Structure 1
Amino acid sequence: MKVMKLHSIRLKMLFMLLSSIGITAALLVILYALSTLILSIPAIKPPLVWIINHIGSDPVMLVAGIILFFASYYMSTKWFVLDLQKIQTGLQDITAGRFDSRIELKSQDELGGVASSINRMTEQLNVYLEEIRNGLREIAKGNFDTDIPVQSGSQLGEVAESINQMSRQLHQSILEERNAEKTKNDLITGVSHDLRTPLTSILGFLEVIEEDRYQDEVELRYYVNIAYEKAQNLKKLIDDLFEYTRINNGLPLDIREIDMAQFIRQLIEEFVPALEKSGMECKLAAEEGLVIRADGAQLVRAYENLITNAIRYGDSGNRIDIAVRSDGNQVSISFTNYGDPIPERDLPFIFDRFYRVETSRSKQTGGTGLGLAITKSIVEIQGGEIRVRSDQQRTTFETRFPKVV
């Protein structure tokens, strides 16, 4: 349509040019016809006769024709030039960013159509920019769920989409920052509570000993033994806490290829005394030749936690089943015990810091509530994943790592 309008404007300009030429020719004919009458005018005759005698009638007609052509062309295109100037001024305003400016043309021709198209364009731009401004105001107020309408196929639409993405990312960053702050506060609260409890007991028993409020050496040794056990638990908590923060702060990893069947066999051998003491046995079902890339030392720490938990809480089942198998492009390593199940309400929080399924039972067995959190961190920083399933028959912790082909 724009091409048709430009073509029509060119035709009109050609028509005005031809019209000016026609008007000039007609005026020259009229002047030639009236030349006798003009020469009869006393005031004009002497200079006109002199010009004709000395210059000639043809040059005079040529000069007169040129003057008449420019005069007629100017008169016929004056309105056209004025309309073009209005359009140019409007376009300059739009270029300067004043999208509320309008080009006012009374003509209904092609130039009027061009002006109307420009006005509609600027009106649409102004409306869309107002939507973008309103969206930005809402985002500035903290309403990050505000979505600016996106007009496909336009650069302003791309700007609106970029703003929406920025808003979502900013919202996500703020949520993560708040979550990090909450996590830090929860960690401080948990650490304070778990450190205070054994420390209070230690100080209490040491105070009894310091003030000689024991009956005999047997009672003294009893108090010392309790204080020693509490100090051991306190040391374990501090060690676990240090390990957890070290892992989550990005400890250096020594990544190597590990044959998981051999790796798990060696790990089980280290637990033979603990298994015999608990009256349990460990069975391994492993596919050979399954290799992953991981830090062996860190992986030992993670799987030690899983086997220790299986012995600690699954002793009523008398055995632990460990399976190493291929599952697509992953290697699955699962640890199954047949003790008491983990309550369903606790499963979503089992890997949270300081979370204990049975508080009294965990304290009796020396649990700090950090073991599974450490295991999860170790597995995930090496590109793996960990999950847990539990029912009345069995509890299974499963880790998965990408398989090395």
Structure 2
Amino acid sequence: MELVFIMLLSLIIAFTVAILIRNIGFEFHKESKEKRISQRYEECIIELEDKLLKVDMKDVNKINAILEENYSQLVGYEFYVVDENGRVISSSTPAMLEIDKVRIIDGARDYQISKSDANVFKITGCDSIKNGYYLYYTYLYFDENDTRMVAGALIGAVICFFFLIWGRISYISTIRLSVDKMTQGDLSEKVPCCYKNELRGLAEDINKMAEALENEEQKKNEFLTNISHDIRTPLTTILGYLNMIKNKNYDSEEALQGYIRIMERKGKFLASMLEDFFQYSKLASHDISIKYTKLDLNELLRQMKEDEEEEFLAKELKLELQLYPEVIYCMGDPELLARVVGNLLSNSIKYSQMNTSVLMKSSIEKVNYINYGVFSISNVPQESISEEEVSRLFERLYKRDNARKEEGSGLGLSIANNIIKLHGGKIEGHFVEERLIFKVYVRMQKL
């Protein structure tokens, strides 16, 4: 929008200057009437009259040949050879057949300026040739300077435009240099924010992108550090017990079986963690195919409750289920959606206060004219959590510091979020009245 304004401003400035220059020229030309008449006369009238003096004025063909060959193409001129009564004998244009007799006066000169444009003028002249024959001529100046003025104004507008936007062009070069530094890995580089236009918006967006990439890089580094710790801890335990078994550092068969059970549990944890990494990688790269099937959301939640209820009881938690009274048919991959429910339930088991309830509910909601099957899982967390932290729980590679003590990859909610996105739905997190609520939207089957 600013470029359009600058171009219009450039045109206004250029044409204003051109008109002022032309008007100065008008004033000069107004004072040079005799000079204009003299220029036209010397330009071709003298030469034409000399040629006509050398021919027989009754030889019309010869006169026609002179006018057609040399003078019919002159811009602005009209030539007439007439007798003393104004009858046209020959002319460079068929515009008139007769000229008013009162105009046929030897040496007559008439000069007229247009009332609307002082640079448009007309010269009329008449000279006696010989034997009662005259050369009557007119010259009309059609303001050729206006054409030159327009061309000059356009060129001036272009020059003015580039002069006005030169700072913007230089600023674009500055942005490019900053982007080059960012592409070379210097994400701390910031584009200076100048002007109040689209370029400033571009600079701000680039800075936001660089900041996001820098945060992402930092999160990846933190993630790798945390994952290295999470993998090293159970691996160290397994290797330690293997060494004890190898050296027979145990007192009884019961102690040996205890070591084996611990190694088995740690091994399963490592396998589960690696499976999360593999699943997250496939989902993030969209290297996964969704097998859409018509499924009953209520039935899915009912089955998940039956499968997980015993584990909740072992953790002194109560798993409750409130189902929508009607069947909710959704389109999705049953295995992937079961993974979403399982991840959310697993999160509730890890971080719920003891002797509290975890509630699963189903419902139907319409959002932007689209019907969604909705299920929510809510629990009472072990400690309060801010809305900002809730909004970050589904970020890639995010894991709360105080959750490091719990076994897990920290990818469960990210995996759930990616699965729902692939289904065209969404997950929302809220903290309401001491309960952490995860709400999942899955598109219903079209009737």
Residue 66 of structure 1 is matched in structure 2 by 67
d(CA) in 1 for partners of 2:255 and 2:398?
33
Give the match's secondary structure for 2:375: strand
Q: Given the superposition, is the C-alpha separation of residues 74 and 207 from structure 1 closer, same or farther in structure 2, using an over 3 Å criterion?
A: closer
- Cα deviation, residue 254, structure 1: 0.6
Any idea what the Cα deviations from partners look like across 1:27-48, whole Å, max 9, x if unmatched? 85x999xx8xxxxxxxxxxxx7
Displacement of 1:169: 8.3
Gaps in structure 2 of 5+ consecutive residues: 1-14, 20-35, 79-142, 180-190
Deviates more, 1:203-212 or 1:110-119: 110-119
Structure 2 counterpart of 1:211, from 244, 247, 250: 247
- AA partner of residue 343 (structure 1): I
Tell me, yes or no, if structure 1 residue 256 matches structure 2 residue 293.
yes
Contact 2:344 2:413 in 1 (8 A): yes
Distance 1:360 1:115 in 2: 74
Partner of 1:336: 378
Asked if the contact 1:341/1:390 (under 8 Å) is kept, the reply is: no
Displacement after TM superposition at 1:382 (Å): 1.6
Identity %: 20
Match of 1:137 among 160, 163, 173: 173
Q: Does 1:270 align with 2:311?
A: no
Instruction: Judge conservation of contact 2:363–2:375 (CA < 8 Å) in 1.
Output: yes
Aligned to 2:225: 189
The offset of 1:136, in angstroms, is: 3.2
What is the alpha-carbon distance in structure 1 between the residues aligned to residue 241 and residue 329 of structure 2? Answer: 52
TM-score between both structures, scaled by the size of structure 1:
0.63
Structure 1 equivalent of residue 393 of structure 2: 350
Larger strand proportion of the pair = 2
Give per-residue Cα distances to partners, 1:96-129, cap 9 Å, x unaligned: xxxxxxxxxxx99535533542343232343256
Contact 1:261 1:286 in 2 (8 A): yes
How far residue 266 of structure 1 moved from its aligned partner, in angstroms, is 2.7
Q: Structure 1 residue 244 and structure 2 residue 245: aligned? A: no
Is 1:24–1:72's contact at 8 Å kept on the other side of the alignment? no
Alpha-carbon shift at residue 397 of structure 1 (Å): 1.3
Provide Cα deviations, 1:199-225, integer angstroms capped at 9, x if missing partner: 112222222333344444444444343
Q: Superposed, which structure 2 residues align to 1:4-403 within 5 Å?
A: 58=59, 62=63, 66=67, 70=71, 109-111=145-147, 113-127=149-163, 130-131=166-167, 133-142=169-178, 184-250=220-286, 251-277=288-314, 278=316, 280-314=318-352, 316-329=354-367, 330-344=372-386, 346-352=389-395, 353=397, 355-356=399-400, 358-359=402-403, 362=406, 366-390=407-431, 393-403=434-444
Shift of 1:170: 7.4
The amino acid that maps onto 1:244 is Y
- Mapped contact 2:384–2:434 kept (Cα < 8 A): no
Structure 1 runs not aligned, ≥5 long: 6-14, 36-47, 78-106, 151-160
Question: How far apart are residue 297 of structure 1 and its match?
Answer: 0.7
Query: Conserved in 1, the CA contact under 8 Å of 2:392 and 2:398?
Result: no
Find the residue that maps to 1:316 and give its secondary structure. Answer: coil
CA shift at 1:299, angstroms? Answer: 0.3
Q: Taking structure 1 as reference, are residues 245 and 24 closer, same or farther at Cα in structure 2, changes over 3 Å only? A: closer
In structure 1, how many angstroms separate the alpha carbons of the residues matched to 2:296 and 2:274?
33
After TM superposition, give the deviation of residue 241 of structure 1 in Å. Answer: 2.0
Quick one: distance in 1 between partners of 2:381 and 2:65? 118
Structure having the higher helix fraction is 1
Tell me if structure 2 keeps the 8 A contact 1:135–1:148: no
CA-atom RMSD in angstroms: 4.6
Per the alignment, do residues 128 and 218 of structure 1 end up closer, same or farther by CA in structure 2, a change over 3 Å counting? Answer: same
CA contact (8 A) 1:335 1:396 kept: yes
**Does the residue aligned with 2:283 lie in a helix, a strand or coil?**
helix
Match of 2:111 in 1: none
Report the Cα offset of residue 286 of structure 1.
1.4
Identify the residue that residue 100 of structure 1 maps to in structure 2: none
Does the residue aligned with 1:236 lie in a helix, a strand or coil?
Answer: helix
What TM-score, normalized by structure 2, do the two folds share? Answer: 0.58
Classify 1:380/1:222 alpha carbon distance in 2 versus 1 (closer, same or farther; 3 Å): same
Provide the C-alpha distance between the structure 2 equivalents of 1:31 and 1:305, rounded to a whole number of angstroms. Answer: 108
**Shift of residue 194 of structure 1?**
1.5
AA matched with 1:205: Y
